[in-house]
Every structure is written in structure tokens, then in C-alpha cells.
Amino acid sequence: MTARREERTPSAVRPYVITKGRSDTGRAPLTWETLVMATDAAFPASLQPEHHLILTHCQGLLSVAEVAAHIGQPPSIVQVLLADLAEWGLIVTRPPIPPAEHTDMTMLRKVLHGLESRL
């Protein structure tokens, strides 16, 4: 017996209606790699269903791209909704971790030689 796949149905509401026609947040947009997490604040009843859906999925750290995948909306729409939630203090954001600088190969060789000498 196979598990039933979760099927997604496309939303009947157009994306520009969800954001009330906004495509700009008025500040630097959140990158797709930015991590977001819901705060412990109570959800106001006046939030849109999409805001509620985002807050229920953001109980742990998720990237903007992951949130978009979970709620089935384009990342550009999710960026606007997340900016709203951040402005209202309902989520916290953390910038993506910058890529590491190049590793010092001489240090790695010294570590390797030290490990080999113990074997």
C-alpha cells in the first residue's frame, strides 16, 4: 500500500491580489536564502490567510524559498508578505550566512600531516 501523495491545487486568488498590488516592500527585498522564523507574538485575527499560513510554517528557521514552496506562491509574492510580517514584528529574519573565505591550504596540510603521524 503506497502513501497518498499530497496534491496541491492552484490558488484561485491572483498573486497581485494577495499583495494588494504591491511588488516593492519599500526596503531592500529579502533574498531567497534569508532565514525567517515566527516570533512568539499572538497572531492578529485581521491577518490575511496567506500571512497565517506563513506563520504556521515558520515555527523553525526556513528560507524565503522554502516558505514559498510550502505555501505554493511565487517567491516574489512571499517576499512582500514576509516584509509585512517583519514590519509588524511577527517574524524575525536572519541574513544568509556569507560564503566562507578560501581555506589556507598550508594549515590543512599541517593538520593532515599531524593526523598521519598519529596513525
Model pLDDT for residues 69-81, shown as the tens digit of each residue: 998 888 888 999 8
Instruction: Domain 15-118: give its CATH architecture.
Output: Orthogonal Bundle (1.10)
Model pLDDT for residues 17-56, shown as the tens digit of each residue: 677 667 666 777 788 899 999 998 887 878 888 888 899 8
Domain spans of the chain, in order of start: 15-118
Span 65-92, average pLDDT: 90
Return the DSSP state at 72: T
pLDDT band for 4, please (50, 70, 90 cuts).
Answer: low
Q: Percent of the chain scored above 90 by pLDDT?
A: 25
Q: Percent of the chain scored above 70 by pLDDT?
A: 81
pLDDT band for 10, please (50, 70, 90 cuts).
Answer: low
pLDDT band for 99, please (50, 70, 90 cuts).
Answer: confident
Burial code (b: 16+ CB inside 10 Å, e: under 16) for 38-56 equals beeeeeeeebeebbebbbe
Among the listed residues 29, 78, 39, the one whose alpha carbon sits nearest the alpha carbon of residue 61: 39
pLDDT band for 90, please (50, 70, 90 cuts).
Answer: very high
